[in-house]
Amino acid sequence: MQTAHSLEESSNIVTTIDCNGRSDAQIKLSIQRATENRAPLMKLIGLDLDRIERPTPSHWIDNCATPNDARFEQLSNMLGNVFGYSDLQNGRLVQEVFPIRGDARKQVGSGAIKLELHTEDPILEYRADYLGFMCVSNRDRIPTTVAVPDFALLSETTRLTLCDTKFTIFSDRPTPTPFKPAKLVTSVLLRAPGGRLRMIYDPVYIDYAAMDAGQSAAFRELQELIDSAMTEFLLKEGDVGFVDNYQVAHGRPQYVPRYDGTDRWLKRTQISSNLVRFSAIAVGENVLP
């Protein structure tokens, strides 16, 4: 019999959970232990998923369902509650991430240019606490880029500026939606219990013009810290990854899609630790505006 210890293999920032031969109760326990320990990144390997032979679709509007989607949603629900957005892929709870021809030059998951490190949905108060990713295919071994900055390395002045002054971040949605804010005025670093810091980070959509000199210098120092902490988080076929959206900035390197059914294909979930808090604004079951 394996000990609980052999179940999880931790690198500095990635907690690997080998699910081979494990019950759902055991997997859930390992996930919950990792979240309690504030693991920034988790990787589930050895899952008993179906092999997917179908080609990578060309657009999310098509039927993209795979036999593993329900299992991925179930695993994601072990961290909180999976939810969708009304303006994202028709409110689907399991979303598609693969290159779409018309998006190649856009700063989006379906693009092909370098996707800058960011946290997801910076302007939404109800943004995901965790993102889930399941790899359907990735023959080119294209990683997700990730950075888990150690905020203790920031100067005191920078930390205070990022915590105690307000920055403006614009919406990252390609088309404005009347029912959503167009921007958020917020601090970039948030104080959490126990003195921990969390971040809302998007260097592409933050309003540089609205910063004073001190804020510009502070944001630059944070960006340098995040860039210097960047590393790769590679998901292979059948792996599931979870990303803490307040501790980890994520992105993707530039690459050259073929658009012939062989491109990298990830599934994605948005996971909330406290969905009940936003039930009043829900527009459908587990769907937020």
Residue 252 binds what, of ligand AKG, Fe ion, none (CB under 5 to 8 Å, by partner type)?
Answer: ligand AKG
- Dmax (CA) of the chain: 60
Question: Total residues at the site for ligand AKG (CB under 6 A)?
Answer: 10
Taking CA 268 as the corner, what is the angle to CA 265 and CA 271, rounded to the nearest 5 degrees? 170
Site string (191-230) toward ligand AKG, x via CB under 6 A:
----------------------------------------
Q: How far is the CB of 166 from ligand AKG (least distance, A)?
A: 25
Question: Among the candidate windows 35-43, 56-64, 220-228, 247-255, which touches ligand AKG by CB under 6 A?
Answer: 247-255
> Of ligand AKG, Fe ion, none, which one does residue 268 interact with (CB within 5 to 8 Å by kind)?
ligand AKG
Residue 120 sits in the site that holds ligand AKG (CB under 6 A) = yes
Residue 127 in contact with ligand AKG, rule: CB under 6 A: no
Q: In angstroms, what CA-CA distances link 47 with 51, 205, 234, 270?
A: 11, 37, 16, 20
- Quick check: 137 binds ligand AKG (CB under 6 A)? no
- Among Fe ion, ligand AKG, none, the one that 146 touches (CB under a kind-dependent 5 to 8 A) is none
Parallel/antiparallel/unpaired status of strands 287-288 and 81-85: parallel
Contacts of ligand AKG in 100-119 (CB under 6 A): 109, 115
Query: Which amino acid would we find at residue 193?
Result: P
144 lines the binding site for ligand AKG (CB under 6 A): yes
- What's the CA dihedral at 216, 245, 82, 238 to 10 degrees? 130
What would the two tokens of residue 128 be?
Answer: 């995901």
Contact of 254 with 65, CB cutoff 8 Å: no
* CA 222 – CA 162 distance, rounded (Å): 9
Q: Count other C-beta atoms under 10 Å from residue 126's C-beta.
A: 18
Among 15, 255, 18, 19, CA closest to 141: 255
For residue 269, the minimal CB distance to Fe ion (Å) is 12
| Residues making contact with ligand AKG (CB under 6 A) | 97, 109, 115, 120, 144, 250-252, 266, 268
